[in-house]
Amino acid sequence: MRQHGIELIETFLSMPLEQLSSLEGLTDGDIESIKSILEENVEIIEDSFSDLQKNISDDMDEAEETEESEENEDFLKRNLIRKLKKSQKKAMMNQMLRNMNARNAAAVLQ
């Protein structure tokens, strides 16, 4: 194949049958067999360099969004904990006031 300028599988697979048939040393049966074997066993990835860069950029953007989402989630958790603590403090103070009122009322009744 190299002697005919074919160095890449993609080149071979993209050539029309007429052009391949004109290559010396290859019969139509050989060409069909080679194409069949390659098509069944080789996956050709056609991403260009710019496509790869875009995919990487998209992956990085997604990672940043995930990071921002996690930061927001952390903020919400901290805020919820702060509110719960504040609520607990209020409940404890109310309980203390009820206890003090109960003691004062008991002292008055005595």
Structure tokens at 37: 């074997």
Both 55 and 33 in a single domain? no
Same domain, 65 and 25: no
Same domain, 30 and 52: no
- Pair (58, 109) in one structural domain: yes
Q: What is the SS3 assignment for 5? A: coil
Specify the pTM.
0.39
Please count the structural domains in the chain.
2
Domain coverage including residue 103: 48-110
Asked if 37 and 54 sit in the same domain, the reply is no
Predicted pLDDT at 18: 87
In this structure, are 54 and 13 located in the same domain?
A: no
Reported as a single tens digit per residue, the pLDDT across 35-72 is: 888 888 877 766 566 676 777 777 777 777 777 777 77
| Res. 82 pLDDT band, cuts 50 70 90 | confident
- 79-100 in b/e form (b: 16+ CB < 10 A) is eeeeeeeeeeeeeeeeeeeeee
Question: Rounded mean pLDDT of 81-88?
Answer: 81
Supply 79's token pair.
């805020």
